[in-house]
Every structure is written in C-alpha cells, then in structure tokens.
Amino acid sequence: MLDAIEQFSASLVQVVFSSVRLGGVDIQLIVLWLAVAMVFFTFRLGFLNVRGFGAAVDILRGRRADPSAPGEISQQAALATALSGTVGLGNIAGVAIAISIGGPGAAFWMFVIGFFAMSLKFAEVTLAVKYRQQTADGRYTGGPMWTLRNAFASRGRPRIGKVLGGIYAGFAIFAFIQIIQINQSYAQLNVIMGFGETKWTAFAYGLIVAFAAGMVLIGGVKSIARVTTALVPFMGGLYVIGVLMILALNVREIPGALELIFSEAMNPSSVQGGVLGAFVAGMRRAVYSSEAGIGSSAIAHAIAKTRSPASEGFVALLEPFIDTVVICTATALAIVTSGAWRLGLNDIAMTSAAFETVSVWFPYLLAVAVFLFAFSTIIATGYYALQAWKYLAGSSRTLSRLYMLFFCGSLPLGALMDVSTAVNIIDSLFFLLAAPNIIGLYIFSNEIARDAGAYLQEARRNKAIERNED
C-alpha cells in the first residue's frame, strides 16, 4: 500500500508542480500563481498589511466587540482556531525542510512571503464572512466553497460559482488530512526515543493521535474552539521559550546568521539554484505554513461573531505575521545560529539538533511542543475538512460521521511514510486549493478593496467620537 502511495505522490507532484525553467531553476507555475496574488493584493489594498495592523490589534483586544453579532464563536476564538491550523509543524519542520533544500536564504524568502501573505489572507477571510451560509438550524458555515458559490450567485453567475466551489471542496476533503503532522511529530518522538524503523510503533502512535482528535472533533466547533484557545498560547509560548534559549546561548552568532540568511537569499551561486532556488523552497514552505491563498483558515474565520466582514479580515491578517514572519523567522535563526543546518539533516531532526545544543534533554521539550502543534492542527483542519464534506454531501449526520472515520482513519498512514512522500502529497493537494480560490479573489478584488476602505473610515470616525467624548 505504501508503494502505491509513493507512486501516486510522484505522479501528483509532476502534474501539480509543472514548471518553467528560469535562471537554471525549475519555477513551478502554481508557486508563481500564489506569489503574484500576494503581491497583487498588497498593492491593490494599498499595503493594508501595514496601515491596517493597528486596527487588527484593536479588534483583537475586543474594542467595540458585539456579543450579540451573528456567528458561532468570538473573533478571538476564531483567530485561535485558525492559528491552531497554521501554527504547526510548518513552523518547525517546514523551516528546516526549506533550509535543507534552498539553504539559509530560503528563510529570508519565507519572511518576505509572510509579509505579502497578510494582504491575501485579509482578502479571502473578508469574502468568507461576507458570503457565509446560514444553515437550516440557524448556525453558520463558510469558506471558499461557499464564497465562490454565493458571490457568483449574487452577480447572476450561479453555475460558475457552484462548479468552482465544488472543485475546491472536492480537493479539500483530501488536502486537509494532515498526514505530514503525524509524520513529523512521530519523527521527533523517534529522535528522542530511538524506536528505529519499527512500523508497528509508528502505526500505534498514529492510531492514538487519530483517536484523540476524533474525540475532540465529535464535540463540534465550540469544543474545537475551547481546545485551541487553550492550546495555542501554551504551545506557542513553550516553543518560543525554547527558541529564545537557543538564541540566548548563541547571541553572538545572531548578527552573522542574519547576514548569512540575507546574503544567501541574494547570492546567484548559492546552494541549489541560487536566488530562485531559495525563493522556491521558501515559497512552498511559507504557503504551507501561513495557508494564505489556500483558503483553509477562512473556514474558521467565517463563523466569527461580527457584523462587519472586513473586521474579521483585519483579525486574519495577523495570522501570517504571527505564524510566518515571527515564528518561522525565530526557528530559522535558531537553526542557523546553532549550526544545525550544516549537519546534513533534512526535516525536523534539524530543528531537534538545534534544541540539543542547549541541553541533551531539550529535544524532549521540542517533542511536547511538536505534539501539541500537530494535534491542534489536526483538529482544526478536521473541522475544515468536515465543512467541505458537508458542502458536497449535505448535513446528514450519518454521512458526516462516515467521513470523520475516513479522516481519522487515514492519519496513521502519515507515520508510516517517508517525509518526502508526505510533503509531496500535502503540498500538491494544498496548492491545488489555491487555483479556484484565487480566481474568485481576483474577480471580487474591487469589492474587497471597497469593504476595507469603508471599515477603516468607520473606525477612524469612531475613534474621533471617542476622543471628543473624553
């Protein structure tokens, strides 16, 4: 069975990542598709990722929050749920994989891409809230499939919307099965426990995680929000403390590491393809880490309690900043300053080696953080996958439970695969989601810009009124 999966992975990569050759490097067209969209929306929205940052923080602090607003969970809980899906092993293993492929310069491009990803995240989340669907029982659901369907219907093109929404949902029910989270969390456990190549141990680990995830997913979105709201600050804090200790130990190496990352990013003759090679490696991992353009976290944001779709868009633009700009950069600095990137490792073992420079027991701390990252991502994406399934199959409880069995039952396979197979499958399916999602974003870009401008004007008026009242 694993041989068949590896063959499928190789075939899928060839189709999805078809490329053109530039500067001696194969540049995948789907990577350019996402990169261009990020730059386009950053300029189209007038660098909203910079000038709207303060508004995003104000909303997150709960200023002018309306508990009676339509939706399922608070805006803070929506962000926590979305972050639990994006802040994951992409920040730990993904950075290491990018550096192993594109050298330290790949980390610079992850930072740059994370900056531009903020605007694209705002765009897809604003539309997701605006065109979310209210179900027969009065609850809300949303995401790119509903955005495409309802937005096109509002313009008299319902068939186009149904087709694009169906394509997105069809990819999503497979893309959101997080085998890479199982793969890399087990890899770190293997590093510290020394299980070797024992398949039964790997499969047992996958079963335990799948069972635990299933128990949370059965509780529905409010159960998921409670778990993620508790886990995200704890796991993020735990990991950041570990990284800061590595950086404190290697504080004298930080200026040299920053110089190396930047010089390698701009060096035409650096490892595996120079500038373009580093960019492609950084782009693939940054997209998986932030999920901007993929539309997945828009499913969580779509059910936030708000009367203003743009307000949730502003909350969402903080995601790539926290996830890719801050956490991925910190991981890259830890790997480079510790020298772990020179050891010939190609996955989470590289990050583990960086942690081991602090103490022999420090990889155990990483193992705890990795498990929490992986688990929170699995339950968040499990919710996303179920919403996509319901879009296709309806809200039948029996069919939903059957899909959840399929979702959870597929997870243990991730522990049995080698890392390249797991990465290729997830990358391919994730990037396929970007095709229908970004088509819709381009078409409705003027609408997104109008909503952003209107919200900022209203926010400025409200601040002026508050100052006058004081």
Please give the span between the terminal C-alpha atoms of the chain, in angstroms, as a whole number: 69
Domain ranges of the chain: 40-460
Q: Is the pLDDT of residue 137 over 50?
A: yes
**Binning pLDDT at 50, 70 and 90, where does residue 280 land?**
low
Per-residue pLDDT at 268? 52
Which residues, in sequence order, are bridge partners of residue 19? 28
**Binning pLDDT at 50, 70 and 90, where does residue 120 land?**
very high
Of all residues in the chain, the percent with pLDDT exceeding 90 is 28
The span from the CA of 189 to the CA of 159, in Å, is 48
DSSP string, 99-146: HHHH-THHHHHHHHHHHHHHHHHHHHHHHHHHT-EE-TTS-EE-SHHH
Which residues, in sequence order, are bridge partners of residue 73? 304
What average pLDDT does this structure show over 7-15? 71
CATH of domain 40-460: 1.20.1740.10
pLDDT tens, residue by residue, 122-136: 999 999 999 999 887
Per-residue pLDDT at 61? 81
Both tokens assigned to 111: 């930072």
Per-residue pLDDT at 271? 47
Per-residue pLDDT at 469? 60
- The model's pTM is 0.85
DSSP string, 154-210: HTT-HHHHHHHHHHHHHHHHHHT--HHHHHHHHHHHHHHH--TT-HHHHHHHHHHHH
Task: HSE, CB side, 13 Å, CA atoms: give it for residue 462.
Answer: 11
**Binning pLDDT at 50, 70 and 90, where does residue 37 land?**
very high
What φ, ψ does residue 25 adopt, rounded to 5°? -125, 140
* CB neighbour list of residue 271: distance below 8 Å, 6 or more residues apart: 102, 103, 105, 264, 277, 278
Per-residue pLDDT at 276? 60
What average pLDDT does this structure show over 276-296? 71
The span from the CA of 98 to the CA of 110, in Å, is 9
Contact, 415 vs 422, CB < 8 A?
A: no
Q: Which of 383, 373, 375, 348 is nearest to 188 (CA)?
A: 348
**Binning pLDDT at 50, 70 and 90, where does residue 279 land?**
low
pLDDT tens, residue by residue, 309-330: 999 999 999 988 888 888 888 8
pLDDT tens, residue by residue, 377-436: 888 888 889 999 999 998 888 998 899 999 998 888 888 877 677 777 777 887 889 889
pLDDT tens, residue by residue, 66-97: 777 888 888 888 887 777 666 666 677 778 87
